[in-house]
Amino acid sequence: MKSSAKSTAPAPYDCDVLVIGGGIVGLSTAHALTRAAPGTRVTVLEKEPGPARHQTGRNSGVIHSGIYYRPGSLKARFAVRGAAEMVKFCAEHGIPHEVTGKLIVATERAELPRLHSLIQRGRQNGIPVRELGPAQIAEREPHVRGLAAIHVGTTGICDFGAVAAQLARLAEDAGAEVRYGAELAAVDRRPGRGVAVRTSDGSVLRARAMVNCAGLHCDAVARLAGDDPPARVVPFRGEYFELDPAREHLVRGLVYPVPDPAFPFLGVHLTRGVGGGVHIGPNAVPALAREGYDWRTLRPAELGTVLAYPGAWRIARRHWRYGAGELRRSLSKRAFTTAVRRLLPEVTGADLIRSPAGVRAQAVLRDGTLVDDFLITEAPHTVHVLNAPSPAATASLPIGREVAERALGALAR
């Protein structure tokens, strides 16, 4: 970084821990720091004018039970614990939420073995699940068609944007500073001298340690700090429709397909949200920018970085058939509707209204492997959160504590 930080003698630090990113993970980390070590001076830099403007404010709003994740993984441990904590947090702070339970429905015989594997996995993760036949599916969701299903009682819904805003308030009440409209532009890290950063408006801030919770930009922030992250973000957009209010009676709660184990995405699902409306989605298509919420948004530099990354080409080669299907369902409402009708045969194209999309920050290794688990790495004076896709909103309270603990460890070294 070219800043005055280069030449001066060690200046007093402006804060102890600098958190980059005011999404749910960064704000949970800031909150956890103020709880674990009161008196620690924490500053959060968020480039947008408020919290939760990206993944945190553009998701399905589902508190995941933890059924899908490999036993022992960070995702499994943090989702199971995080779901219970999230319900409690919402109740304590008056944030809209509900423990609704959900159905995972097999619509074809070929999906039955995978449904049974999920039951095993759920039990290994300590999650109570019930097996349902077609008649029991119809009792719970009269308009959904399925051969067999599992009912997961601990799944819920909430407003993660409101959770992030509350975490920001709690952190601020405990002395943290959250700066909005503050985009990190450069980092200068020196052994034994902490981190100096410059924001795009030219301000310089010195911190004893930096935590990177920049979501869709986390790999770029790691590179600004001089680190070579083991994975890069490949942005996958998730598009949604909402059900015409006159047809909302078709869906009572949460209905998911059996996921394809080759992908960390759960498949297009039906979600009755905290506001009462029903969302259908998200699919998974490549985004042409990290914040590319539609096909028109293209950032050549960001797209170039993805296209220059061997991992992106390897995914494309390995999963082209699946990808082509997702592209078709993105470009053609008729194809999307046909896919939804497997679960909900009565739905028609006229019932579906486009609604805002989200973009997932999915970390991908050079060999094209989609990083499945949460990925948190450490470097001198720095902690990087390099993969925090779903269910990281659900798991944000335990993730925040884990990252805070590592940041406090970096201060002690």
Judged by the rule CB under 6 A, the positions of this chain that interact with ligand FAD are 20-26, 45-48, 52-56, 58-62, 64, 183-184, 213-217, 221, 238, 282, 358-360, 388-394
Question: For the stretch 373-409, what's the b/e string if a residue is b when 16 or more beta carbons lie within 10 angstroms of its beta carbon?
Answer: bbbbbebbbbbbbbbbbbbbbbbbbbbbbbbbebbbe
* Closest distance of CB 214 from ligand FAD, Å: 4
* Closest distance of CB 29 from ligand FAD, Å: 9
* Closest distance of CB 378 from ligand FAD, Å: 17
Sequence-ordered strand ranges (E) for 133-193: 148-152, 156-158, 177-180, 184-190
Which residue of this chain has its Cβ atom nearest to ligand FAD in the complex? 23
Rank residues 129 and 163 by Cβ distance to ligand FAD and give the closer one: 163
Rank residues 121 and 279 by Cβ distance to ligand FAD and give the closer one: 279
* Closest distance of CB 185 from ligand FAD, Å: 7
* Closest distance of CB 282 from ligand FAD, Å: 4
Rank residues 148 and 171 by Cβ distance to ligand FAD and give the closer one: 171
Helices 333-341, 320-331: crossing angle, 10 deg rounding: 110
Check: CB of residue 254 under 8 Å from CB of residue 103.
yes
Rank residues 238 and 286 by Cβ distance to ligand FAD and give the closer one: 238
Cα–Cα separations (whole angstroms), residue 115 to 6, 67, 146, 254, 393? 58, 11, 12, 16, 25
Name which of 374, 403, 372, 391 is nearest 86 in CA terms: 391
* Closest distance of CB 53 from ligand FAD, Å: 5
Rank residues 25 and 344 by Cβ distance to ligand FAD and give the closer one: 25
Rank residues 293 and 322 by Cβ distance to ligand FAD and give the closer one: 293
Rank residues 103 and 148 by Cβ distance to ligand FAD and give the closer one: 103
Task: Give the chain's largest Cα–Cα span.
Answer: 74
Beta bridge partners of 262: none
H or E element, residue 385: strand 382-387
* Closest distance of CB 234 from ligand FAD, Å: 13
SS3 category, 147 = coil
* Closest distance of CB 139 from ligand FAD, Å: 25
What are the residue ranges of helices labelled H in 319-373? Answer: 320-331, 333-341
Rank residues 47 and 206 by Cβ distance to ligand FAD and give the closer one: 47
Distance CA 97, CA 91 (A): 8
SS3 category, 131 = strand
